[in-house]
Structure 1
Amino acid sequence: MIYKDFQDMKLSALGFGAMRLPTVNRDPNGPIDEKQTAEMTAYAIEHGINYFDTAYGYHDGQSEVIMGKVLSQYARESYYLADKFPGYDLANMDKVEAIFEEQLSKCGTEYFDFYLLHNIYEKNVDPYMDEKYGIMDYLLAQKKAGRIRHLGFSAHGRFETMEKFLKVYGKDMEFCQIQLNYLDWTLQDAKAKVELLAQYEIPVWVMEPLRGGALTKLSDENKAKLAALRPEESVPAWAFRFLQSIDSVKMVLSGMSDLEQMKENIKTYEEEKPLTEKETAALMEVADSMLDILPCTACRYCTAHCPQELDIPVLLSMYNETRFSNGLITHMAVDALAEEKRPSACIGCKSCEAVCPQQLSIADAMSDFVEKLNQPAGL
């Protein structure tokens, strides 16, 4: 395992993100499979991973519980645990103390090694900084008391939003977690965000290194282009090698859902193999060829705010298929859904868009999806 220096710590360069834990019968909405999670955690620790990341909203609040239970089998000083204050939901802004105490209890710990303000973006940046809620004052007090070892933030917002937050609290932030991968290097202006954080001497934590799995599924043409340069490298490994080429990246979080994914990712992190300029250029060409995809990462923030209770990530995944080919399989998949769960049930209220970290135009996509489904299906 590669390790990165962070202050007086040596962090495994690959961290175990607990956002997409294995579920019973592989049902994405089902309960966490505790046995599989325990097996994956044991394998991770045995092979050098020492950083585990959970959050209040992951798996409907059960990620903290299961990870706390599983990690309780190991000496507390043998691993680092990260959690987050759920400010992506404005209803939580005046509950920082109650939620923090609840999180400690759910995780079965007396302190968090790393704690983040979760998902700073356009809608919540001002409330996060509003003194009437006392969020920063409280968290800084917990840090002083040793209940938070290191304080940082995650951000899905635009460059300007991050800059606004950093001008006020940059001096207090020890690390920042952003969505960073070779597709978002330009699409979400991640390059500029990395450079902004460097100005504040804030190291980078990475989320969505594989963009919700999208970067594991390249076209045959793109696979061949990469294989010509590194025939021994897997498609997912290219995404990780890209991140190994960025000096300020100290932690890469992967939401691994099964043991095979974990084994493959750990193998990649046995040694550091940053990309050459030629390889980076080829990877950017691959990214350019993929930009027609509507970039949903299936974080599922949207589903909790949909009055129609639509499974928006699943529908968007289907919609992306129609953008490439309006095929029969997609029509059949939609027909298998209950009528009230199809894209035609979208009422265009845009409640989902208000909480979407990717700032997707979901209502427009649903409308376009309906139009495509009304066209004859191809083979």
Structure 2
Amino acid sequence: MIYRDFQGMKLSELGFGAMRLPVIDGDDSRIDEAATLRMVDTAMENGINYFDTAWGYHGENSEPVMGKALARYPRDSYYVATKFPGYDSANWGKVEEIFEQQLEKLGVDYFDFYLFHNVCEMNIDAYLDDEKYGIYSYLMEQKRNGRIRHLGFSCHGSMPVLKRFLDAYGKDMEFCQLQLNYLDWTFQDGREKVALLDELQIPVWVMEPLRGGKLAGLAPKAEAQLKELRPDEEIYAWAFRFLQSIPSVTVVLSGMSNQEQLEKNLATFAEDKPLSQTEMSALLGIADEMLHEGTVPCTACHYCVSHCPQELDIPTLLNLYNEHVYTGGGFIAPMALGALPADKRPEACIQCRSCEDVCPQQIKISEVLEDFAARLG
């Protein structure tokens, strides 16, 4: 197992993510406890010492199952992380209540790592409104009391959201968990987000390294190109090697659903094999080709915005459309759109086509926005 330094600790670069544990009969809320305990045993035996869970995972059942699995080991032999579920507005005023329940669920007296969960467009105002909700103040108090050893945050939001959060709380954030992989290096502004965090000397934790499994296998042409560069490297392992090439990446979380996935990842993280410049260029070239499949080629020139009578932020809407289409749905686009007023969403387009008259890419914007609204129901 590869280990990364963090404030005098040695963290396993491969973190055990508890969002996709094995389940019974395909029911996400019914975790297969026996299989999970075996996987945790295998992880511990092979050097994984970082375990990540959250309040909402597996219908709020992930924390107690992981607590049961980890309770069989000395408390100083592992690091456990969980998160305040601010993705749900019903929780914003319940930080103390939820925090106490999480300690009980996991059967611990303190959390090694604790996060503001999913900083995004929908909750950034609530997270920053400390006078009303007191989330930041409460978590800082728990850190002073030793019940949180290290405080950080996860973020699915845009660059402006990330900047707002860091402007307010960056001085107190010890790590940031990002959706990061070789697709999202450009698709979700991963490069720019990492650069911003590097400026503030905040190390990066990674979620979705395989983009929900999308990067576990590629088109035959792409796989052949990678095999020519590294004949013995598994295709899925390229996603991990990409992350090993980013100096500030400290922990890579993988949500493993069975023993086979765990063992494959353990084999990959037995070695540190960052990409060469040639390999990196090839991989990002493949990512670029993948991203052009079914997406629209908006360059965010903003010519369209000045011609829209509805004053829609068309580049942002097209970016969210690309995310939604490429991912095949998901929560990121609906989450971001949910923070917009109704008259600024895709369905507010009146099909006047004024934007299309000035679009250098000749995108049929009105048709795209109509399709987006239909996809969102």
TM tier relative to shorter chain:
0.7 to 0.9
Alpha-carbon offset, residue 157 of structure 1: 0.5
Equivalent-residue separation in structure 1 for 2:122 and 2:22 (angstroms): 31
CA spacing shift, 1:260–1:94, aligned 2, 3 Å: same
Equivalent residue, structure 2, for 1:367: 374
1:267 partnered with 2:267: yes
CA spacing shift, 1:144–1:352, aligned 2, 3 Å: closer
Q: Deviations over 1:8-63 (max 9, x none)?
A: 210000000000000013x0535110011001000000000000000011001000
Equivalent residue, structure 2, for 1:346: none
Structure 2 gaps of 5+ residues are: 296-324, 340-344, 347-368
Q: RMSD between aligned alpha carbons?
A: 2.7
1:284 alignment partner AA: L
Equivalent residue, structure 1, for 2:256: 256
CA spacing shift, 1:320–1:187, aligned 2, 3 Å: closer
Equivalent-residue separation in structure 2 for 1:369 and 1:9 (angstroms): 45
Equivalent residue, structure 1, for 2:277: 277
- Indicate which of 350, 354, 357 corresponds to 2:338: 354
Equivalent residue, structure 1, for 2:289: 289
Q: How does 1:1-379 map to 2 (within 5 A)?
A: 1-25=1-25, 27-132=26-131, 133-292=133-292, 354=338, 364=371, 367=374
Alpha-carbon offset, residue 204 of structure 1: 0.3
Alpha-carbon offset, residue 363 of structure 1: 9.2
Of all paired residues, the percent bearing the same amino acid is 56
Q: Deviations over 1:167-201 (max 9, x none)?
A: 11110000000000000000000000000001111
Secondary structure of the structure 2 residue equivalent to 1:16: strand
CA spacing shift, 1:363–1:106, aligned 2, 3 Å: farther
CA spacing shift, 1:160–1:294, aligned 2, 3 Å: farther
Equivalent-residue separation in structure 1 for 2:336 and 2:4 (angstroms): 37
Alpha-carbon offset, residue 320 of structure 1: 6.7
Contact 2:209 2:240 in 1 (8 A): yes
Alpha-carbon offset, residue 287 of structure 1: 0.5
CA spacing shift, 1:100–1:282, aligned 2, 3 Å: same
TM-score (structure 2 length as normaliser): 0.80
1:215 alignment partner AA: L
TM-score (structure 1 length as normaliser): 0.79
Q: Deviations over 1:289-333 (max 9, x none)?
A: 2115689xxxxxxxxxxxxxxxxxxxxxxx879x9xxxxxxxxxx
Secondary structure of the structure 1 residue equivalent to 2:31: coil
Equivalent-residue separation in structure 2 for 1:187 and 1:351 (angstroms): 17
Equivalent-residue separation in structure 1 for 2:32 and 2:57 (angstroms): 14
CA spacing shift, 1:283–1:97, aligned 2, 3 Å: same
1:174 alignment partner AA: E
Secondary structure of the structure 2 residue equivalent to 1:211: coil
Equivalent-residue separation in structure 2 for 1:363 and 1:47 (angstroms): 51
Equivalent-residue separation in structure 1 for 2:31 and 2:44 (angstroms): 20
Structure 1 gaps of 5+ residues are: 296-318, 324-342, 344-349, 371-379
Alpha-carbon offset, residue 365 of structure 1: 5.2
Contact 2:218 2:235 in 1 (8 A): yes
Equivalent-residue separation in structure 1 for 2:189 and 2:115 (angstroms): 22
CA spacing shift, 1:274–1:352, aligned 2, 3 Å: closer
Q: Deviations over 1:253-312 (max 9, x none)?
A: 0000011101111101001000000000110111112115689xxxxxxxxxxxxxxxxx
Equivalent-residue separation in structure 2 for 1:231 and 1:282 (angstroms): 14
